[in-house]
Chain A
Amino acid sequence: GESVGLHLPTLSVQEGDNSIINCAYSNSASDYFIWYKQESGKGPQFIIDIRSNMDKRQGQRVTVLLNKTVKHLSLQIAATQPGDSAVYFCAEIANTDKLIFGTGTRLQVFP
Chain B
Amino acid sequence: DTGVSQDPRHKITKRGQNVTFRCDPISEHNRLYWYRQTLGQGPEFLTYFQNEAQLEKSRLLSDRFSAERPKGSFSTLEIQRTEQGDSAMYLCASSQGGPQHFGDGTRLSIL
Contact of B41 among A46, A98, A99, A103 (CB under 8 A): A103
Whole-angstrom distance between the Cβ of B59 and the nearest chain A Cβ: 11
What per-residue 1/0 map shows which CB atoms of A4-46 lie under 8 Å from chain B?
A: 1000000000000000000000000000001010000111111
Stretch at the interface among B67-75, B79-87, B96-104: B96-104
From 78 to 111 in chain A, residues with beta carbon under 8 angstroms from any chain B beta carbon are 89, 91, 96-104
State whether A41 touches B104 (Cβ < 8 A): yes
The chain B residue sitting closest to A46, CB to CB, is B99
State whether A49 touches B99 (Cβ < 8 A): yes
From 26 to 55 in chain B, residues with beta carbon under 8 angstroms from any chain A beta carbon are 31, 33, 35, 40-45, 48, 55
Kindly list chain B residues whose C-beta atoms are within 8 Å of the C-beta of A41.
104
Whole-angstrom distance between the Cβ of A91 and the nearest chain B Cβ: 7
Q: With A34-B99, A46-B99 in contact, do A99 and B45 touch (Cβ < 8 Å)?
A: yes
Q: With A41-B104, A43-B102, A43-B103 in contact, do A98 and B48 touch (Cβ < 8 Å)?
A: yes
State whether B102 touches A98 (Cβ < 8 A): no
**A34, A43, A104 interface centre (most CB from chain B within 10 Å):** A43
Q: With A46-B99, A49-B99, A97-B55 in contact, do A102 and B42 touch (Cβ < 8 Å)?
A: yes
State whether A101 touches B44 (Cβ < 8 A): yes
Q: With A49-B99, A96-B56, A97-B48 in contact, do A42 and B42 touch (Cβ < 8 Å)?
A: no
The chain A residue sitting closest to B45, CB to CB, is A98
Alpha-carbon distance A73/B38, docked complex (angstroms):
24
Whole-angstrom distance between the Cβ of A48 and the nearest chain B Cβ: 9
**B91, B99, B101, B104 interface centre (most CB from chain A within 10 Å):** B99
Q: With A89-B42, A99-B45, A100-B45 in contact, do A46 and B104 touch (Cβ < 8 Å)?
A: no
Which residues of chain A have a CB within 8 Å of any CB of chain B? Answer: 4, 34, 36, 41-46, 49, 89, 91, 96-104
What would 9 A/B residue contacts be, using CB atoms closer than 8 Å?
A4-B42, A41-B104, A46-B102, A49-B99, A96-B56, A98-B33, A98-B58, A100-B45, A102-B42
**Given pairs A34-B99, A99-B35, A104-B41, 6 additional interface contacts (CB within 8 A):** A43-B91, A43-B102, A49-B98, A91-B42, A96-B56, A102-B42
